[in-house]
């Protein structure tokens, strides 16, 4: 992630931070979303306390950016507070991108098989060129979940590359057709 953010800045690209930001009273979430994070009574779900505070709740440790990325955040960056897995659902992300003429998105983050993939799919459905930065993604799910996302990203929703290629692109000669 650090290399991806630094490369984006080097290329003069925008950096958009998308993160969960639920109301403390959870009125922005319906039962399906609440259930998807709490399948058993003894599980900790959204809004409930973990060691460092409530899960994915505005103003809590669980809704903050990880410490390693905080120094890379600039005031000029776009911040999108989301309340579902997708960065598009119920947010201003699409409006910001379209009004600024952005057509290609490079995606990175966690969890690749949840938030990253739903955002990538939604980008695809909205006709954005979606590029997954494979090595800038992670998940707490089994390995096959990440493998499935990478497979679908390559074959269905867009493109896949790594942060080294993103940071140091190799120019490609294009053939021009002569008539």
Question: Domain holding 20: CATH number?
Answer: 3.40.50.850
Position 179 in a domain: no
Residues in CB range of 58: below 8 A, 6 or more apart: 21, 22, 23, 24, 81
Residues in CB range of 105: below 8 A, 6 or more apart: 97, 120, 123, 128, 129, 130, 131
Query: Looking at residues 44-69, what average pLDDT do you find?
Result: 88
Position 44 in a domain: yes
* Strand 53-54 versus strand 49-50 pairing type: antiparallel
For 151, the 3-state DSSP assignment is: helix
pLDDT given at position 179? 63
Position 177 in a domain: no
* For residue 52, pLDDT beyond 90: no
- Tokens 């399948």 correspond to 39
Q: pTM to 2 decimals?
A: 0.90
* For residue 69, pLDDT beyond 90: yes
Structural domains of the chain, count = 1
Position 34 in a domain: yes
* Domain assignment of residue 107, given as a range: 2-167
Position 172 in a domain: no
What are the C-alpha distances in Å from 65 to residues 5, 20, 72, 133? 14, 10, 10, 19
Position 33 in a domain: yes
**What is d(CA 144, CA 150) in angstroms, rounded to the nearest whole number?**
10
Position 37 in a domain: yes
């Amino acid at each position: 992630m650090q290399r991806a953010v630094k490369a984006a800045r080097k290329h003069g690209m925008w950096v958009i931070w998308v993160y969960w930001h639920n109301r403390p009273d959870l009125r922005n979430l319906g039962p399906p979303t609440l259930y998807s994070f709490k399948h058993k009574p003894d599980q900790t779900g959204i809004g409930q306390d973990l060691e460092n505070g409530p899960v994915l709740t505005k103003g809590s440790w669980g809704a903050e950016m990880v410490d390693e990325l905080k120094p890379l955040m600039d005031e000029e960056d776009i911040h999108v507070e989301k309340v579902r897995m997708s960065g598009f659902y119920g947010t201003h992300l699409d409006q910001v991108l379209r009004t600024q003429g952005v057509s290609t998105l490079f995606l990175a983050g966690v969890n690749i098989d949840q938030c990253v993939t739903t955002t990538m799919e939604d980008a695809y459905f909205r006709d954005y060129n979606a590029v997954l930065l494979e090595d800038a993604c992670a998940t707490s799910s089994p390995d096959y979940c990440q493998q499935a996302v990478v497979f679908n990203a390559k074959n269905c929703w867009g493109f896949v590359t790594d942060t080294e290629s993103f940071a140091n692109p190799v120019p490609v000669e294009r053939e021009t057709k002569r008539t």
